[in-house]
């Protein structure tokens, strides 16, 4: 592991310095998890819905190229222009090219984690294009010059007082005003002005229907529609895995998505786009960026089933207590931890270890991704590829030797207990990470094995 | 029925009372239990750290010790889950597969194999029950709060047979305690915070004891309780089910 890259443990160590904040973060996300529980328990068919969704996605991944070509043909027939991007760089250049062809210098963008993954905003800024994020949460982190910390709730790490301060600095609201309703209204006015003046809009894609060549964007604020309807050019960025075969399958996914995300029965706006309005241009950029590599990794391919609901983050006890930024990746939390090493195994070698493997993520996942099993498998791959520290390798070898050799284990265990009893300072010190917040167990005078040999021998 | 008793390494070394209670409980229920002395560890500490390839020695030893028993029982959901999912032997894959399906966590052995309906146990105290993730989500010892399905609990049904026991309710019924094997040192900050929060839930509901099917989670919570100077004790479920 490259030690000058800050890893999840070091970043969460910092996050945990402010315990009140950790408590607040944990409780906020747990509250959403509880809303999710309430919503899903109202549907007796919940588990079969998950199974259906999972199977639809399995089918999609097995015939991905067919569906993509079908989608391209149908969308083209509808008058939409399709572009293919092999990676983030190509995606960003296509966006820039389209904007330049229209001499557009300003763009409004609704939420798209793919553009975060591609670092589109930075790229466009370097090329003199001003982007305004129209999702309220995204706008807030944009003003704070931070990446989103959650895929559905981008500014969940910020308290309302901090948002008030940001608005005061950037949008001229009175200092000290943190009234959510007032702040929302301010943002609404500010964004309305943006929508009316931007000539270009970019949206993400939640679902692209192969059979009809249309796509669906889900937002709770209607901001995707506002941007796209008023702009002369609408660009939609989608990962290759966003395909579903037919329109009827939308019913399954739309029922799962928001219940899992926030506990709502359905997203406030599920906007269907199937052709440009007269005089408008509509473009879709279909992006690979490592997805076909993941598709080829059999153990990890079904991570591509993800519909980005964020439920795995809300339920993850580690995410709740470490914050999204500690994952140092556009997609944080459990799903981010299995997607990131695919993109760069060395840089993200820490993420599969940022889990207790409790399995809660796999249970909430509406498309039944075996997230915690994949975390376990990534650990094996990462170690095999040499991204473990020398110290860890050495200690693992020693442990393996001790535990594979009963005589060494018995002597070692006895010695260990002796040390704990007679020289606790040897282990109870600041170099022992266990001891920082926890006491060591009280060593018993004999092990069970020793007791058994004395008392039960010859049975 | 010959049952091999598997006592995971850290239980052997640090919590012999949990192991004794397991043995005595099984004997009390008429089971012929044998403890093979040359056992050590299931290999999980290596495997969960990404070094599954170094767990071969543990696998071999486990197979050598336990292959001939009708069942193997261990007082640890986590170790049993590891054996169930990862025990293998390249030379003898069938033996490993057969053995791993015969390995049971104590409470599931009592409910599923022995079908225990009565226990002569008494424990007149307020007890918090910690659902250990590997036992619960991995071995499905009880229903999980994330799923839409009828509730049940194997350890819970056994605890209900204990006279005088009062199981306290918890705010988060099955949240992880944060132990996670090497996670507890590699991710010290988050692990300790999770442990603190988990313990707090039990304390808030006035538990006098915290119990569970996994001594490792209990060891973690005990470390936190002791650091706080709390009087609350941890006890493996076997010690309660064996209590008189
Ligand atoms: S992995 Fe599953 S739970 Fe997590 S964001 Fe994706 S669909 Fe939602």
Mean pLDDT is highest, among A2-11, A184-193, A342-351, for: A342-351
> Residues near A189 by Cβ (< 8 Å), separated by ≥ 6?
none
CA distance A222 to A108: 13
Average pLDDT in chain A: 91
**Domain presence at residue A322:** yes
Grade residue A52 by pLDDT with cuts at 50, 70 and 90: very high
Segment among A236-250, A258-272, A437-451, B21-35 with least mean pLDDT: A437-451
Interface of B with A in 24-53 (CB under 8 A): 34-35, 37-41, 43, 45-53
pLDDT at A427: 63
pLDDT at A422: 65
Residue of minimum CA distance from atom 8 in ligand 1: A309
Cα A57 to chain center, whole Å? 18
Which tokens sit at A458? 């010859």
pLDDT in tens, A412-437: 777 667 666 666 666 666 667 777 78
Does the structure show a pLDDT above 70 at A458?
no
**Looking at the structure, do residues A254 and A332 belong to the same domain, yes or no?**
no
pLDDT in tens, A122-164: 999 999 999 998 888 889 999 999 999 999 999 999 999 999 9
Q: Is A449 on the interface with B (CB under 8 A)?
A: yes
Residue of minimum CA distance from atom 3 in ligand 1: A365
Beta strand residue intervals within chain B, DSSP E = 2-5, 32-34, 71-74, 103-105, 126-130, 166-167, 209-212, 233-236
Average pLDDT rounded to a whole number, residues A381-405: 79
CA distance B182 to A132: 43
Residue B4 DSSP class: E
CA distance A287 to A91: 7
pLDDT at B43: 85
Ranges in chain B, pLDDT < 70:
none
The shortest C-alpha distance from A53 to chain B (Å) reads: 16
- Domain region containing A355: 300-385
CA distance A247 to A254: 11
Cα B73 to chain center, whole Å? 10
**Chain B hits for A402, Cβ within 8 Å:** 40
**Looking at the structure, do residues A138 and A221 belong to the same domain, yes or no?**
yes
Q: To probe the interface with B, which of A6, A400, A417, A421 has the most B CB atoms within 10 Å? A: A400
Q: How many domains is chain A partitioned into structurally?
A: 3
Does the structure show a pLDDT above 90 at A393?
no
Distance from the alpha carbon of residue A3 to the mean position of ligand 1, in angstroms = 30
Segment among A110-114, A227-231, A305-309, B229-233 with least mean pLDDT: A227-231
**Looking at the structure, do residues A308 and A406 belong to the same domain, yes or no?**
no
**Chain B hits for A11, Cβ within 8 Å:** none
CA distance B182 to A107: 47
Position in ligand 1 atom list of the atom nearest CA A313: 4
pLDDT at B39: 86
A-to-B residue pairs, Cβ atoms closer than 8 angstroms: 214
The shortest C-alpha distance from A39 to chain B (Å) reads: 10
**Domain presence at residue A244:** yes
pLDDT at A275: 96
**Domain presence at residue A442:** yes
Cα B82 to chain center, whole Å? 12
**Chain A hits for B134, Cβ within 8 Å:** 357, 359
**Looking at the structure, do residues A118 and A207 belong to the same domain, yes or no?**
yes
The architecture CATH gives domain B126-241: 3-Layer(aba) Sandwich (3.40)
Does the structure show a pLDDT above 80 at A305?
yes
**Domain presence at residue A269:** yes
Does the structure show a pLDDT above 60 at A40?
yes
Residue A119, phi-psi category: left (phi > 0), alpha (psi -120 to 50), beta (remainder): left
Element (H, E) at A233: strand A233-239
CA distance A371 to A363: 9
pLDDT at B115: 97
pLDDT in tens, A105-123: 999 999 899 999 999 999 9
> Residues near A165 by Cβ (< 8 Å), separated by ≥ 6?
A175
pLDDT at B154: 97
**Domain presence at residue A256:** yes
CA distances from A424 to A421, A428, A445 (A): 6, 6, 15
Sheet bearing A81-85, strands edge to edge: A81-85, A281-287, A233-239, A200-203, A106-109, A130-133
Average pLDDT rounded to a whole number, residues A2-27: 88
Q: Exposed, middle or buried: residue A303 (CB in 10 Å: 0-12, 13-18, 19+)? A: buried
CA distances from A274 to A176, A198, A251, A439, B185 (A): 45, 22, 17, 62, 52
Which CATH fold topology does B2-113 show? Rossmann fold (3.40.50)
> Mapping DSSP to helix (H, G, I), strand (E, B) and coil, where does residue A270 land?
strand
Q: Which residue has the higher pLDDT, A407 or A216?
A: A216
**Chain A hits for B188, Cβ within 8 Å:** 9, 13, 433-434, 436-437
pLDDT at A392: 74
Question: Does A369 sit in the ligand 1 pocket, CB within 6 Å?
Answer: yes
Q: To probe the interface with B, which of A448, A453, A454 has the most B CB atoms within 10 Å? A: A448
| Dihedral sign from CA coordinates of A202, A207, A208, A209 | negative
CA proximity to B104, closest of B22, B12, B11 = B22
With CA atoms as reference, the chain A residue closest to B191 would be: A318
Alpha carbons within 13 angstroms on the beta-carbon side of residue B165 total: 29
CA distance B107 to B110: 5
Does the structure show a pLDDT above 50 at A2?
no
Which tokens sit at A64? 């991905």
Q: Where are the domains of chain B?
A: 2-113, 126-241
**Looking at the structure, do residues A172 and A185 belong to the same domain, yes or no?**
yes
**Chain A hits for B11, Cβ within 8 Å:** 448
Q: Do A13 and B189 touch (CB under 8 A)?
A: yes
Interface of A with B in 342-361 (CB under 8 A): 352-360
**Domain presence at residue A209:** yes
pLDDT at A192: 83
Crossing angle of helices A448-455 and B16-28, rounded to 10°: 50
């Amino acid at each position: 592991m490259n030690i000058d890259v800050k890893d999840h443990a070091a970043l969460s160590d910092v996050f945990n310095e402010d315990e009140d904040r950790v408590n607040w973060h944990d409780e906020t996300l747990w509250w959403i998890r509880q809303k999710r529980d309430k919503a899903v328990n109202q549907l007796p068919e919940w588990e079969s819905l998950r199974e259906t969704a999972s199977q639809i996605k399995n089918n999609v991944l097995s015939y991905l190229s067919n569906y993509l070509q079908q989608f391209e043909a149908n969308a083209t027939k509808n008058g939409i222009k399709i572009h293919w991007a092999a990676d983030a760089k190509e995606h960003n250049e296509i966006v820039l090219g389209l904007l330049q062809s229209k001499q557009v210098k300003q763009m409004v963008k609704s939420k798209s984690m793919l553009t975060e993954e591609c670092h589109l905003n930075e790229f466009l800024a370097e090329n003199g294009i001003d982007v305004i994020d129209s999702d309220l949460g995204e706008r807030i982190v944009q003003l704070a010059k931070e990446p989103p910390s959650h895929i559905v709730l981008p500014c969940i790490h910020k308290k309302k007082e901090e948002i008030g301060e940001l608005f005061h600095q950037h949008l001229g609201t009175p200092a000290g005003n943190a009234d959510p309703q007032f702040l929302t209204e301010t943002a609404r006015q500010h964004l309305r002005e943006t929508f009316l003046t931007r000539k270009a809009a970019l949206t993400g894609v939640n679902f692209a229907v192969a059979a009809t060549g249309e796509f669906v964007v889900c937002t709770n604020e209607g901001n995707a529609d506002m941007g796209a309807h008023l702009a002369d050019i609408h660009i939609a960025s989608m990962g290759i895995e966003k395909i579903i075969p037919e329109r009827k399958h939308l019913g399954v996914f739309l029922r799962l998505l928001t219940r899992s995300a926030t506990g709502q029965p359905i997203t406030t706006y599920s906007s269907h786009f199937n052709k440009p309005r007269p005089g408008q241009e509509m473009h879709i950029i279909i992006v690979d960026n490592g997805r076909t590599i993941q598709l080829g990794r059999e153990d990890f391919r079904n991570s591509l089933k993800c519909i980005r609901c964020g439920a795995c983050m809300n339920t993850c006890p580690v995410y709740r207590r470490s914050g999204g930024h500690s994952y140092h990746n556009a997609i944080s939390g459990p799903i981010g931890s299995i997607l990131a090493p695919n993109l760069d195994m060395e840089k993200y070698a820490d993420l599969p270890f940022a889990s207790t493997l409790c399995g809660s993520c796999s249970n909430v996942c509406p498309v039944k991704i075996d997230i915690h099993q994949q975390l376990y498998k990534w650990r094996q791959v990462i170690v095999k590829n040499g991204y473990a520290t020398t110290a860890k390798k050495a200690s693992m070898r020693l442990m393996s030797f001790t535990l594979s050799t009963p005589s060494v284990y018995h002597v070692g265990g006895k010695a260990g207990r002796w040390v704990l009893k007679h020289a606790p300072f040897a282990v109870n010190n600041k170099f022992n990470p266990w001891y920082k917040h926890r006491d060591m167990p009280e060593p018993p005078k004999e092990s069970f094995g020793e007791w058994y040999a004395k008392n039960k021998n010859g049975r | 029925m010959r049952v091999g008793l598997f006592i995971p390494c850290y239980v052997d070394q640090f919590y012999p009372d949990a192991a004794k209670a397991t043995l005595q409980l099984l004997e009390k229920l008429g089971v012929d239990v044998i403890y093979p002395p040359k056992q050590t560890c299931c290999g999980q500490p290596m495997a969960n750290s990404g070094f599954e390839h170094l767990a071969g020695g543990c696998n071999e030893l486990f197979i050598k010790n336990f292959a001939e028993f009708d069942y193997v029982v261990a007082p640890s959901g986590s170790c049993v889950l590891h054996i169930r999912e990862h025990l293998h032997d390249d030379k003898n894959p069938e033996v490993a597969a057969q053995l791993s399906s015969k390995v049971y966590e104590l409470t599931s052995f009592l409910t599923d194999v022995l079908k225990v309906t009565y226990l002569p146990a008494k424990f007149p105290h307020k007890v918090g029950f910690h659902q250990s993730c590997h036992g619960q989500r991995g071995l499905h010892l009880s229903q999980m709060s994330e799923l839409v399905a009828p509730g049940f609990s194997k350890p819970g049904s056994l605890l209900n047979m204990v006279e005088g026991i009062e199981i306290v309710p918890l705010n988060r019924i099955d949240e992880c305690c944060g132990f996670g094997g090497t996670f507890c040192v590699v991710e010290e900050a988050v692990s300790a915070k999770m442990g603190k929060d988990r313990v707090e839930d039990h304390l808030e509901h006035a538990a006098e004891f915290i119990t569970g099917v996994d001594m490792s989670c209990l060891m973690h919570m005990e470390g936190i309780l002791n650091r706080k100077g709390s009087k609350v004790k941890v006890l493996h479920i076997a010690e309660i089910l064996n209590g008189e």
